[in-house]
Amino acid sequence: MKRDILGGDRMNLYEEIKNKKAKIVVVGLGYVGLPLSIAFAKRASVIGFDINKNKIENLQKGIDITNEISKEEIESSGVVFTDEEKLLREAKFFIIAVPTPVVNGQPDLKFVLNATKMVARNITKGSIIVYESTVYPGVTEEICIPLLEIESGLKVRSDFKVSYSPERLNPGDITNRLENIKKIVAGIDDETVEIVSKVYEMVVKAGIYKVDNIKVAEASKLIENVQRDVNIALMNEISIILNKAKIDTNKVLESARTKWNFLNFTPGLVGGHCIGVDSYYLMFKARELGYDPKIIYEARNINEYMEEYVVNNILDILSSKNKKINKVKIVVFGITFKENCSDIRNTQVAKIVKRLEEKGAIVEVVDQVANGEEVLNNFNIKLHSIGSIKEADILIFSVPHKEFLKLNLEDLDKMYKKDEEKILIDIKGMFDKKEALENGYIYWRL
């Protein structure tokens, strides 16, 4: 029988994890790491690690500020939440799920590199390290593995193994969850792929998709989101053209969707940690290889421009009505990057708010899904309740949270100044345009 790195049969580590004799550590307890920790804890002994002390204290009280996991699930999970590095020594199986953001259009690997160093300081012979963080092809093998060897003093393959299994979660999505999204698994060798696949099969019912090598897995994760970025950019550009032609974009898309092979993308503000970020990672790698990507680059430019485009249209409407921007009160509904999700990373709405404030407008923001403290700390924006909104000149609906979808025009009427023209900026088309116009609204949408 084939021998593994532990000196037993090749499934020995998996068996030890299944029998709770070996522990799993998840490093990074955000939108990816926390659900992963909770899921594994139903079948194994799990340590959830994060450097954010405040986050750990909240989780120890059963509080998830992202609102992805309920208090009951956290408290009953049995996960040991900690920011103490020494506890990592108790584990053999490490999953790194930390952010990989972009700074000034360039990949910022500091979180994954710091996590790599920390894990390396605490691994022992026989350990397996799995990376879930999104990176460009080559990062795992060309940067992380050498760093693991330097910091640990151990050798890959003979002393420890490395796998790459990209996260594919969709924050705020109650349908496509960890257990029903097929898991891509790659590894430093076939043995690693087999062990890691067996471990993930404990929690992923949709099954495992094993790929040939780590670079294939890294690239596949990137293009999942680059494809969406490019397609949304196309819809945004079409929206700009149709608006100039005074043609309703929504009506055009409704008509086009009657063809079976029409791709169902819509215009909008592109934010979040994936779609608005992964294109930069792929472009970085392309340029490193001597190729200047054109379509991906232009798509990013279009999507980055959309917040400015929205503001310009608001200014045009005000100008047509002889209203000055520094004399109006604007209320923005939704600050998160997508509906029914508290994630504010790379949200374009915050840029719209700041741009309007810089023009002199009074701007209030309503969002019952976002964490008020997080919004204040990141953007210096105070959140307001729906019930407090009054005397507005313009309402901007930027994120279709389910609570906002319950509002009708009669509800909105109460929020405007009396005897003034009501301007409604409906970015995602939440309200009926015909009804709004019939009720005297000045209405605009992408």
Which pLDDT belongs to residue 272? 85
Fold identical between 12-215 and 236-444?
Answer: yes
Name the E strands within 28-90: 46-49, 80-82
Which pLDDT belongs to residue 65? 84
Which pLDDT belongs to residue 173? 67
Cα separation, 389 vs 391, in Å, equals 7
Place of tokens 């100044």: 417
Gyration radius of the chain's alpha carbons: 24
Which pLDDT belongs to residue 398? 97
Query: What six digits make up the tokens of 234?
Result: 């196309």
User: Is 341 annotated in the active site?
Assistant: no
Query: Where are the domains positioned within the chain?
Result: 12-215, 236-444
Q: Which of 96, 156, 274, 396 is catalytic?
A: 274
Look up the CATH architecture of domain 236-444.
3-Layer(aba) Sandwich (3.40)
SS3 category, 418: coil
Which pLDDT belongs to residue 11? 52
Which pLDDT belongs to residue 279? 96
Which pLDDT belongs to residue 419? 86
pTM: 0.92
Query: What six digits make up the tokens of 315?
Result: 């200014």
Query: What six digits make up the tokens of 114?
Result: 């710091």
Residues in the chain: 446
As to burial, measured by CB atoms within 10 angstroms (0-12 exposed, 13-18 middle, 19+ buried), residue 50 is buried
Query: What six digits make up the tokens of 129?
Result: 């390290």
Which pLDDT belongs to residue 9? 44
Residue type for position 128: I
In order of 111, 168, 236, 427, 433, the CA distances from 133 in angstroms are: 10, 10, 29, 31, 41
Which pLDDT belongs to residue 276? 84
Low-confidence residues in the chain, pLDDT < 50: 1-10
Cα separation, 22 vs 100, in Å, equals 28
Cα separation, 317 vs 443, in Å, equals 9
3.40.50.720, 2.40.40.20, 3.40.50.2300, 2.30.42.10: CATH of 12-215: 3.40.50.720
Which pLDDT belongs to residue 277? 92
